[in-house]
Structure 1
């Protein structure tokens, strides 16, 4: 599984016009007069009633490079402007309904994309701004889970620290942005705002190594790619550079011996202030025990945290432009809502909102793929049995808290979940300084 995590483009901005005339994609269709428009609710939940506004959308007029400020939010790209992404839409899959995890900026969505929580923040802040003891957010990440399960992974960052680079890992500090080390070109630091990323410095690799490993069929089971800033599709960088990087990575994977067992996911961290006409869906409560401040101060899980701009996380953000690329994917596929939740429970009849794809879906997929071989060795034991995921959690939390692991063979699904939750809360309350 290879993930390319790029910057700040809503689904309408990239694919709204490009796929607008396809009946299976909720885009911006061409009117009989050749123009484009969409109803957009004035406030979430107002639907298409009297409060909705008509928005004129201009297709094919988005700036390839904006100067000084992002281009206008309702000026969209055409297929001719983004030929690589258009080719992907014709040959592989595009998500119609893939939402950002937080209706906010980059940092909280980067946190969710690698740890399934933002620890209560919906702003670009450090953890100590939220009452935390450290600048880094303490939650476990997908990289921690993979490391404990001995699943190989790599975090590929152009011009950053690690093997095959010229920048010492000692220069990496909490925060996320452009490094100013000794490299000839700038690149994005990995998301070391999270301790669960920073502690895996030995897995920080250059893009040079990414291409070498792809050519040799030697990529690890999970690869996370942070693009060079100027090729990240972030306003106001040249979209042609992002197109070229996407094509280069695709060609490297496609021509390598590992292609037939590769899933390549390309997604954007947030909507970047660009227009998207699809209403933001509701989401279940963020029940992650990472909301440490709440637990310590007896604040309800639906209440505010100590972070600026308190948010209850009961709503997802706008749609993200997301592509799925693999030889196993049907040509020109459009992916809509999932039919079931990822936790085995059918949502029909539930009081919770229906399931949606968001950034955390990538983490669930990675963990499912990592444990697939193990799961396949055993016959399904039924809904009350301890799952492979719970076994990994118990091993992980036992190691983190230095608590002896229980006898999993005498546990059931509920007791295993309760033990794991108790150890996780214990870990989150620990002073890690």
Structure 2
């Protein structure tokens, strides 16, 4: 069932739950779902990329359906994505900021990075390999035109999820991490309008990248709180679930970032769904699963161009990116008892003729559902709102209570002694900003030591914030602004927290 029109009826949704996974394209995860629902804009098996885009006789690598455990991690930097979508390498001396989008450079880029990697990049999962997604797509809805907000890596795309801008960031920016990103977020907008939110984290919340988002009581340890809040009917209006970003022997990562086992991500989605399904709030819930960016994996749908810059900030040299192109298509699954089975969301019908679904659609949808006063940026004002997926007049009573059991894909142990990934380094640097530690400490960290560091840093921040609240008799808000994030020896972390209490509520 395709959905293209909206309704003026007030939304029955009172709680929106969002899980953002890591680094997989639509075709890689869901492209072969076209075999179970032809309405889905997936793959047919005829899709291919040449080894060399400049050679008309180049060997073509065809997209396959044998994806499983993925290692190593394909390149997904701005330069790599430029080549993947245009077939041309980025030339700093002669840049072309608006290349023709052909989606033909994935193989060429992969082979230059690691010979043989193209077989991984040009491969997708059979529906049976990701059984939780298979059941959700069959029972509820999939969006086959949801794009990353910009052609870049994890951090800037995750910033768009909650603020509809990356404030000019295109990659890791250490100085910006020190200061924190200053833009207004959907969390603040919800609070200003009298709505609640909660962030359920499993290692370290990436939402701490935002300078002003330090509401101590809105952070909840997922393992301790999520199921209990579901059972007690105490989920807030906006729920953000942060997966485990670090892969260790005693607790496997479940964010789906290569080389993490996708079956662990399937387990997480299953666990979240089943907790929501058993909650007394079930008939008021819309659950969204998306991925931050494509991670270097092939997708055949051209990336949209000519999109509005959120705030007219131009990215750093040498790219001078104007934030006028979206990134690659990523998976997006929507779950609610208000959704008909086998619903497929294609391109939105507005608000602009050029509108698309992308991460800023979350802010746009929350504004619409909760009647918030204003948009965050020009981007969420432009992005499509996915509340149209709620396409029934009454909630279903036949939604499954349990989902299929995932099958383990990885037959090796977690690589907890491996070096940190780029995003893990950024999480450690954000934690270092909280503690006032030097940023170069990431150079010698492993996955396991990085996890311990970020967990300890957040625990200290949380505990010190609670103590500061008690001392100052603040009801429910502690904020760590830029002054608490600078590396100084003149103040202890506790003193810095005391110095920036927000008492205006």
Q: In which range does the TM-score fall when normalised by the shorter chain?
A: 0.5 to 0.7
Q: 2: CA distance between counterparts of 1:18 and 1:242?
A: 18
For residues 233 and 305 of structure 1, what CA distance do their matches in structure 2 show?
A: 28
2:439 corresponds in structure 1 to: none
Identify the match of residue 183 of structure 2 among 139, 142, 156: 139
Q: What secondary structure sits across from 2:373 in the alignment?
A: helix
Match of 2:236 in 1: 220
Q: 1:100 aligns with which of 135, 148, 151?
A: 148
Aligned to 2:62: 56
> Following superposition of structure 1 onto structure 2, how do residues 16-31 of structure 1 map, counting pairs within 5 Å?
16-20=31-35, 22-29=37-44
CA RMSD of aligned residues (A): 2.8
Which residue of the partner structure matches residue 173 of structure 1? none
Q: 1:288 to 1:53 in 2, by over 3 A?
A: farther
Matched, 1:148 2:192: yes
Whose helix proportion is higher, 1 or 2? 2
| TM-score, normalization by structure 2 | 0.57
SS of the residue 2:173 aligns to = coil
Cα displacement (A) at 1:40: 5.8
Change (3 A) 1:106 1:274: same
- The residue aligned with 2:288 is 265
Query: Are residue 389 (structure 1) and residue 376 (structure 2) matched?
Result: no
Relative to structure 1, is the Cα distance of residues 102 and 391 closer, same or farther in structure 2, using a 3 angstrom cutoff?
Answer: closer
Is the aligned partner of 1:240 residue 2:240? no
Runs of 4+ in structure 1 displaced over 6 angstroms? 41-44, 50-53
Encode CA deviations 1:181-224: one digit per residue, 9 max, x unaligned.
xxxxxx24332121133x22321111121111111111001001
**Within 1, Cα distance between the matches of 2:58 and 2:340?**
36
Corresponding residue SS for 1:196: coil
After superposition, residues 312-391 of structure 1 pair within 5 angstroms as 312-341=322-351, 346-347=352-353, 354-371=354-371, 389-390=373-374
1:76-111 superposed Cα distances (whole Å, 9 cap, x missing partner): 111111100000110000111000001110011011
- Quote the offset at 1:255 in angstroms: 0.9
Task: Give the total of aligned pairs.
Answer: 311
Structure 2, unaligned runs of 5 or more? 1-15, 75-116, 246-252, 378-480, 484-505
Whether the 8 Å CA contact 1:16–1:76 is kept in 2: the answer is yes
CA apart distance, 1:306: 3.8
Q: Check whether the contact 1:3–1:223 (CA below 8 A) recurs between aligned residues.
A: yes
SS of match in other structure, 1:231: coil
Q: How far apart, CA to CA, are the structure 2 residues paired with 1:150 and 1:239?
A: 37
Unaligned ranges ≥5, structure 1? 30-35, 45-49, 159-186, 292-303, 348-353, 372-387, 394-430
Does residue 310 of the first structure (1) align with residue 316 of the second (2)?
no
